Chain A
Amino acid sequence: MPQDMPPVGGYTSVQYKRNVPARGFKPVYYLVGMHMIMAYGFYKYFHGVREQRELAREKIWSRLYLTPLLQAEEDRDQVRRHLADKAREKELLGTEQKIYNSDRFIRPTYVYTPSKVTQ
């Protein structure tokens, strides 16, 4: 029996590729492009951060220059209330008592409020 042989002239080629042309650039160009975009972004970001730092410095110094002024006003108000408390205590109890074993100035936990509306 004769052997089953390929057809004369060989088999036709099998189309295993899709018939679509490769789109776009070579992949390495996309990689390079992505890095360039990122480099530009970081460039802008660093400049923004530098400006933010300077703006923060400006803001903090404007507050630092005002701090003594605001603190002085607050201290004066606290001392006024403290002295008023002392005078009231003396009037009511006859003596001044030390309630803390310390000579520091301590902000009162409970604030005196007048019995009548004052303002």
Chain B
Amino acid sequence: MSQRDPRFNQHVLVDTTPMPDHIPKVDEIGATSAPLMSAAYFIGDRCKAYNDDFMKCKDEANGRGEIECLKEGRKVTRCAASVIKDINTNCLKQFTAHWECLENNNHYLFECRRAEQQLNNCVFEKLGLKKNIPGTPENQVPVHMRPKQKYAQYPGPQF
């Protein structure tokens, strides 16, 4: 059901019928995987309420969530877009450095700690969003704050 058989033809055949007018429009996020991964924790920090709201709506909709939770989904997308926009206006240099590093390193976060540290500091100063990994044991340094990463290509201190 969730799988679509491949079509081996030369043309992209997509149903491009636009959304009906009675459903409000929203701009899609439009970012690729690396920037999204780079900004994921900031999106999670600012948009947690909207995200939880959307997932709860989907959970309680008894399989009709696709249609009934459009409103919550729009809020989720707008909130994430606002985070990306804020990071772009305030920390563009650090953000670009980090997601390009991710892009070049198979999306391994542990290869890009230096860029990540600079991005985290900038975002915390300008926007007040903090990277926090839930469930990290209390008595140890969170893995993104450790200068040495055992599994990185260069195992010495990255910053």
Give A residues with C-beta under 8 Å from B: 47-48, 50-52, 54-55, 57-59, 61-69, 71-73, 75-76, 78-84, 87, 102-107, 109, 111-114, 117-119
Contacts and interface: CB of A to CB of B under 8 A. Distances in A.
Contacts of A62: 37, 40-41, 44, 109
Contacts of A113: 7, 13-15
Interface stretch (B86-94, B119-127, B136-144): B136-144
Interface in B125-151: 133-136, 140, 142-144, 149-151
Given A68-B51, A72-B54, A75-B66, A55 B109 contact: yes
Nearest to A51: B150
Interface residues of B, number: 57
Interface of B: 1-2, 4, 7, 11-20, 23, 26, 28-29, 36-37, 40-41, 43-44, 47, 50-51, 54-55, 58, 62-67, 69-70, 72-74, 76-77, 80, 109-110, 133-136, 140, 142-144, 149-151
The dominant DSSP class at the A interface is helix
A79 B70 contact: yes
Given A66-B43, A119-B16, 14 more contacts: A55-B143, A57-B136, A58-B109, A61-B135, A68-B54, A68-B76, A69-B29, A72-B69, A76-B19, A79-B66, A79-B70, A84-B17, A112-B15, A113-B13
